[in-house]
Structure 1
Amino acid sequence: MKLVWSPETASKAYIDTVKSCELLHGSSVAELISAMAAGWNAEVIVETWARGGAILVSIGLAVAAHHTKGRHICIVPDEESRAEYVEAMSQSGQSDYEMLVGEPEEVIEGLQGIDFLVVDCGGDNDFARIIRAADLGRRGAVLVCKNAAAASRAAYGGGFRWRSVLEGKSRIVRSVFLPVGDGLDVAHVGAVGGNSGEAKRESRWIKRIDRHSGEEFVIENELSCL
């Protein structure tokens, strides 16, 4: 089994997030992330959040979890952040989520089978450690770093490297930088065991080297959307 894209579910989550965020002046980032989480039918959706952060993406993830009938889990570093998050989500009408309090890279170790993970490149002290500590789903996973503009990625020499972040723990099917909001870096990592358990069929893979970043992409020709 592996993550399978559902355009219908993605569209529903996108539209519902647009409606939910209209009263909060809208956010193209929230709608996009919500559509990705719903479209990939994520069953375990995890985000990190800290006091003072924007709440729109969290609303989008809650909407996505509703459509996939999955879990939406938010990890916050302290009680002040927890209280602010609960208040903001309550004002938006969202209540179906789980809260975990503590250092994100430690708390996330207690979660299993994460399908969709959102971290804040600008807010988390070391988002790479959080990603490395995550137990990703056997069907594969989608990883999203928000606020990933060049200024937020200075620690990586001006160029984000998924390979260095993951340190070989997962096979990168595809990665992309999206110039939305303050930037989104997104990676789709492959299922554990590849195509084991599925009907045998020929698969064709495309390998490409990004001339600007030097990063290598390995893309399955059946991948219809990230």
Structure 2
Amino acid sequence: MSFFGIVDTFSSGTFTGWSYNSSVIKQTLTVKINDLKVREIEANILRPDVKAAGVAPEQCGFAFQLNIQDLPADGCILSLVDSTSGIQLENGIFTLLDGILTPGFPDNTAEVIRPSLSIKQYLKAQEDKFGDQTTALVAKDLLKAIEHLPINTFVALSYLLVLGRIPDPVGFQNSLSNGRFEGNAKFQFVLEMMRSEEFKKKRTPTLVLADLQGCNFSRLS
């Protein structure tokens, strides 16, 4: 499972953004007040900018409004989380104090919230935040999709999905001759490719995951 999502804008009780959980078809968010679930929002608005960035399918956006006057008068914490995983969206926490809803937690809002991030900035922040953990998780997702294939097909698809190119003849033969691909070897092969300098310059784990969406490699086995 991989999850990406962010609150793009907030103004006068109106929230907009996008959210995508790769483990489910229907994308839903939960609005919480002081950790109590008060509302569920479906993320089904078209976001061609998100799709173009290779992050998620186009139908992943959301927009909804809350009446600030209906929130607890003595203050509260409002949060937006993915309904399936419970993971909080980036920029998805707000504090109500003295009738004013402010992004972030009390007393340190400047540290918690960032101004509206572009999709590229968001992806960079995610990579910086989770680093090799994200790389390993995506490598496992990739392995699940192609590990059943014959070795030559597995190697060729690894190059294509990870590096975005077909393998050069020398690199292809070296991969076949050097790798025995037993036990955990296939995972290490994919992981090392995703840790390479070529990968870091050209691709991100998020783009690999996006390329996997909707692919069915069962006919290749």
- Same fold, TM-score > 0.5, yes or no: no
TM-score normalised to the size of structure 1?
Answer: 0.28
Greater strand fraction, Structure 1 or Structure 2 = 2
TM-score normalised to the size of structure 2?
Answer: 0.29
Larger Rg: 2
